[in-house]
């Protein structure tokens, strides 16, 4: 992780020096800093609200019911190590929110799942699988892209729906297979 960040910084700084415009670093710090605070501010209310809703759903028993019925059989196949019910519920909520296109709720509930999965500072096989599953881009209905396409004057904006579904399922299966292959070795 730190290697990736270091590479980005080195590419940026070296390039700005070679271009003879070292001041670009300062501009990036101001721009990037402003962007991240703005992003945080736009997120904080939404995050707090959805994680509050999660707090309620957790206590009502609806989540544990759905998790048992839908997610458990699937998770048993995907995750290598057994999951506790609290972990299963948090993972299910975050992936379901993701699939339903509830971007902000998905982030909140995903962070919640990380807290449940966490065991010290070690990356466990289950955390790796969860992150790979989450970042593989599985989608049910890509509403943002379809809206954008129709806004840009597409004659058939939703035509990408089925192809995107196929490609994203393919990508996810591929991701989980790679995780199986490499997660096992270490």
Partner 1 sequence: MSSYLPALIVLICIVVGLKAKINIYEHFLEGAKAGIIALWHILPTIIGIFVALALVRNSLLWGYIIDKVGLLINPLGVSKELVPLALMRPFSGSASLAVLTKLLSEFGPDSFIGLSASTFVASTETVFYVVMTYLASAQIKKSRHIFIVAILVQFVVIISSCLIWRVIS
Interface region with partner 1, contact rule CB under 8 A, candidates 59-67, 73-81, 84-92 = 59-67
Q: Does 139 bind partner 1 (CB under 8 A)?
A: yes
Extract long-range pairs of 163-169: CB within 8 Å, 24+ residues apart. 164/139, 165/139, 165/140, 168/136, 168/137, 168/138, 168/139, 169/138
Q: Does 70 bind partner 1 (CB under 8 A)?
A: no
Q: Does 175 bind partner 1 (CB under 8 A)?
A: yes
Q: Shortest approach of partner 1 to residue 80 CB, angstroms? A: 13
Q: Shortest approach of partner 1 to residue 18 CB, angstroms? A: 7
Q: Does 134 bind partner 1 (CB under 8 A)?
A: yes
| Tokens read off for 86 | 């609290």
Q: Does 40 bind partner 1 (CB under 8 A)?
A: yes
Q: Shortest approach of partner 1 to residue 74 CB, angstroms? A: 19
Q: Does 86 bind partner 1 (CB under 8 A)?
A: no
Among 76, 82, 85, 143, binds partner 1 (CB under 8 A): 143
| Tokens read off for 143 | 């509403």
Site size toward partner 1 (CB under 8 A) is 99
If the CB atoms of residues 31 and 84 are measured against partner 1, the closer one turns out to be: 31
If the CB atoms of residues 74 and 166 are measured against partner 1, the closer one turns out to be: 166
If the CB atoms of residues 8 and 70 are measured against partner 1, the closer one turns out to be: 8
SS (H, E, C) 108-175: HHHHHHHHHHCCCCCCCHHHHHHHHHHHCCCCCCCHHHHHHHHHCCCCCHHHHHHHHHHHHHHHHHHH
| Tokens read off for 165 | 């579904």
Per the CB < 8 A criterion, the answer to whether 127 and 118 are in contact is yes
To which residue do tokens 């959805």 refer?
50
């Amino acid at each position: 992780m730190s290697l990736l960040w270091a590479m980005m910084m080195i590419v940026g700084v070296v390039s700005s020096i070679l271009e003879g415009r070292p001041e670009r670093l300062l501009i990036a710090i101001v721009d990037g800093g402003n962007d991240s605070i703005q992003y945080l501010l736009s997120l904080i209310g939404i995050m707090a609200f959805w994680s509050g809703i999660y707090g309620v759903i957790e206590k009502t028993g609806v989540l544990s019911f759905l998790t048992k019925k839908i997610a458990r059989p699937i998770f048993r196949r995907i995750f290598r190590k057994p999951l506790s019910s609290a972990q299963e519920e948090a993972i299910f909520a975050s992936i379901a929110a993701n699939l339903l296109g509830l971007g902000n709720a998905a982030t909140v509930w995903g962070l919640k799942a990380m807290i449940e999965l966490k065991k010290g500072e070690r990356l466990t096989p289950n955390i790796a699988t969860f992150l790979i599953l989450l970042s593989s881009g599985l989608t049910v209905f890509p509403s943002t892209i379809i809206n954008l396409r129709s806004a840009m004057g597409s004659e058939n904006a939703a035509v990408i729906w089925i192809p995107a579904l196929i490609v994203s399922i393919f990508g996810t299966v591929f991701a989980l297979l790679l995780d199986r292959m490499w997660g096992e070795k270490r």
